[in-house]
């Protein structure tokens, strides 16, 4: 199968590597505004050729869009305009409602399958791509009833080839869940980095003292705004809702400390400890 | 050298393993209120014998206290009462000012070296102990001028045997730095866990969707209150100071989203990205 990947970065590159390794992709066209990324991807044999958008779309069976969610939203109608009824389009974005809404009246809507692989790192670009990235992680398909049966079937095959476990979800529910399982983590991590950078003017002290705990909590703060601003923008209401809850949770810690109410502090911590039972199932 | 370790948990156990491996410890006495931990440590050959406090202290050259910081603060005067001028005591606590203050007029103050290994995990107990835990991490000695020369020298040898790089710091400065490099990370992680647990009533959804990013940010929320309540208590003022700053940083994200000021949001993220340059030096 010939596959075009629009956006040969961390996600697009990792998908390409895995689909070649599994023998699913016989030829991969890379499409990207960033020519350096295309050249890197060619050198790393992540893609077989770099092509322009129209050529790639017309000449492939499957088109996977792995670009920032606002770009997907803008470009998807054009991509659907260009394909035939035998081709399939998937995205890989972290928000789903806006993207799905943008094509809801498009005559080729059934050719699109809304996909979100629940994996990412703070790194970007094809040099960060890893073929086994997705193994064991959740691969979410949203609003599957709006996709044609054969398109859905192909997307499921792709997601299984990435070794992900399939989950079906309504797009609105997806955007609520990802707000607190993924998007809020990024905001707390960014805010934590800014807190430390604001309070700690001696960079050497941060570097010397930084423990594994700090590095782990602040890791996501390295993530690029090109990807994350559009996510926060498209999922604004849900993210704000969770952010307000998070600030009120932090205020409970503040109040417990201010009032020296250490029984309450212990209670808050014991409640947080329950996350162990859920994550380590 | 015979060493007594008070508190055979994650930290005490990891220190014991490494010092045996390096041939520094010829015999390790384990002292712990938790008899199950002592038996586990014996079975894992982390300690050579379980003894009571007095026996262990009298019969060892070096005593390492790896118990919660409030217990160290309470017990340290008694430990110093029991030792001779040829013995040395170290702690391993995450706060330093309170502990040092508690013995400032003790006649055997010079026999004590205030130590903080900048390593830990969300796990606890001797079964979590790992001998190479400390390699490459910072080992902080506070107020070294208050320790006797031979006691300091021994502590330095121990820290180097743990393969840590030595840092000297004033106790008050240490407590400020650790507030934002370690303690605040735990509060944000606890609060994030509580946010998700509050908003997401479907535990299965958390489990299924949880990405590596979420797991990484929330990892510290598994840490036990027995260790962390005393740390927050002893470092209350500094932690509150950083917590207030953190809440105000989060409010900036909230405001940027509410006002749909995406240029400002990008600016906040770009500032946070600077942490990459500092952590990845």
Take residue A87 and report the two structure tokens written for it. Answer: 């081709």
* Average pLDDT over chain B, rounded to an integer: 93
Give the CATH class of B174-279: mainly alpha
Average pLDDT, integer, range B4-24: 96
B240 vs A: CB within 8 A: yes
* A86-96 tens-digit pLDDT: 999 999 999 99
ipTM for the assembly:
0.91
Please tell me the predicted confidence (pLDDT) of residue B203: 67
* Average pLDDT over chain A, rounded to an integer: 93
Q: State the Cα–Cα distance between residues B276 and B281, nearest whole angstrom.
A: 8
Please tell me the predicted confidence (pLDDT) of residue A159: 97
% of chain B with per-residue pLDDT over 90: 83
Interface of A with B in 173-192 (CB under 8 A): 177-178, 180-182, 184-192
Residues of B with Cβ-Cβ distance to A240 under 8 angstroms: 254, 257-258
The candidate with the shortest Cα–Cα distance to B11, out of B178, B153, B167, B125, is: B125
Q: State the Cα–Cα distance between residues A249 and A242, nearest whole angstrom.
A: 10
Give the residue extent of every domain in chain A.
Answer: 2-170, 174-279
Give the nearest chain A residue to B227 (CA atoms): A266
Residues of B with Cβ-Cβ distance to A269 under 8 angstroms: 190, 223-225, 228-229
Average pLDDT, integer, range A131-144: 93
- In this predicted structure, the answer to whether residue A13 has a pLDDT above a threshold of 80 is yes
* B158-171 tens-digit pLDDT: 999 999 999 999 99
Taking each helix axis from N to C end, the angle separating B69-82 and B225-234, rounded to the nearest 10 degrees, works out to 80
Residue B277 to chain A, least CA–CA distance (Å): 9
Q: State the Cα–Cα distance between residues B176 and A51, nearest whole angstrom.
A: 54
A201 vs B: CB within 8 A: no
Please tell me the predicted confidence (pLDDT) of residue A212: 67
* B209-257 tens-digit pLDDT: 776 677 878 888 999 999 999 999 999 999 999 999 999 999 999 999 9
- In this predicted structure, the answer to whether residue A38 has a pLDDT above a threshold of 90 is yes
The candidate with the shortest Cα–Cα distance to A232, out of A187, A188, A190, A170, is: A187
Q: CATH number of the domain at A2-170, out of 3.30.70.1520, 3.40.50.720, 1.10.3720.10, 3.20.19.10?
A: 3.40.50.720
Alpha helices in chain B (DSSP H): 10-21, 35-43, 53-58, 69-82, 97-102, 149-161, 171-178, 184-199, 203-209, 212-218, 225-234, 236-258, 262-279
In order, the DSSP letters of B41-58 are: HHHTTS-SEE--HHHHHH
Q: State the Cα–Cα distance between residues B191 and A245, nearest whole angstrom.
A: 9
Please tell me the predicted confidence (pLDDT) of residue A39: 97
A203 confidence band (pLDDT: 50, 70, 90) = low
Interface of A with B in 108-127 (CB under 8 A): 118-122
Residues of A with Cβ-Cβ distance to B239 under 8 angstroms: 257
Average pLDDT, integer, range B92-110: 96
Q: State the Cα–Cα distance between residues B279 and B193, nearest whole angstrom.
A: 25
The candidate with the shortest Cα–Cα distance to A34, out of A15, A57, A10, A1, is: A10
- In this predicted structure, the answer to whether residue B102 has a pLDDT above a threshold of 70 is yes
Q: Which residue among A165, A180, A215 sits closest to B199, beta carbon to beta carbon? A: A180
Please tell me the predicted confidence (pLDDT) of residue A102: 93
Q: Residues B197, A271: contact at Cβ < 8 Å?
A: yes
Q: Which residues pair with A16 in a beta bridge?
A: none
Q: Are strands B88-91 and B112-117 parallel, antiparallel or unpaired?
A: parallel
Q: Residues A88, A159: contact at Cβ < 8 Å?
A: no
Residue A167 falls in which region: left (phi positive, over 0), alpha (psi -120 to 50) or beta: beta
Least confident of A104-108, A122-126, A161-165, B105-109: A122-126
Please tell me the predicted confidence (pLDDT) of residue B99: 96
Please tell me the predicted confidence (pLDDT) of residue A216: 78
């Amino acid at each position: 199968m010939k596959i075009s990947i629009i956006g040969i970065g961390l996600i697009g590159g990792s998908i390409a590597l895995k689909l070649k390794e599994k023998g699913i992709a016989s030829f991969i066209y890379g499409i990207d505004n960033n020519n350096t990324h295309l050249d890197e991807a060619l050198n790393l044999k992540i893609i077989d050729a770099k092509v322009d958008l129209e050529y790639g779309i017309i000449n492939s069976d499957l088109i996977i869009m792995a670009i920032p969610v606002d770009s997907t939203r803008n470009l998807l109608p054009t991509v659907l305009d260009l394909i035939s009824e035998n081709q399939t389009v998937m995205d890989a974005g972290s928000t789903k409602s806006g993207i799905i809404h943008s094509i809801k009246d498009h005559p080729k809507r059934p050719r699109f399958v809304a996909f979100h692989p629940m994996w990412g790192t703070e790194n970007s670009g094809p040099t960060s791509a890893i073929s086994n990235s997705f193994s064991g992680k959740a691969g979410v398909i949203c609003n599957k009833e709006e996709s044609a049966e054969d398109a859905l079937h192909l997307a499921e095959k792709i997601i299984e080839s990435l070794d992900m476990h399939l989950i079906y979800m309504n797009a609105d529910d997806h955007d609520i869940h990802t707000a607190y399982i993924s998007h809020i983590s990024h905001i707390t991590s960014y805010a934590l980095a800014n807190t430390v950078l604001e309070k700690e003017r001696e960079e050497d002290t941060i570097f010397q003292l930084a423990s594994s705990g700090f590095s782990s909590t602040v890791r996501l703060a390295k993530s690029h705004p090109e990807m994350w601003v559009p996510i926060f923008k498209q999922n604004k209401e849900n993210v704000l809702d969770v952010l307000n809850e998070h600030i009120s949770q932090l205020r409970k810690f503040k109040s417990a400390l201010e009032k020296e109410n250490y029984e309450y502090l212990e209670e808050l911590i014991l409640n947080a400890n329950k996350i162990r039972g859920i994550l380590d199932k």
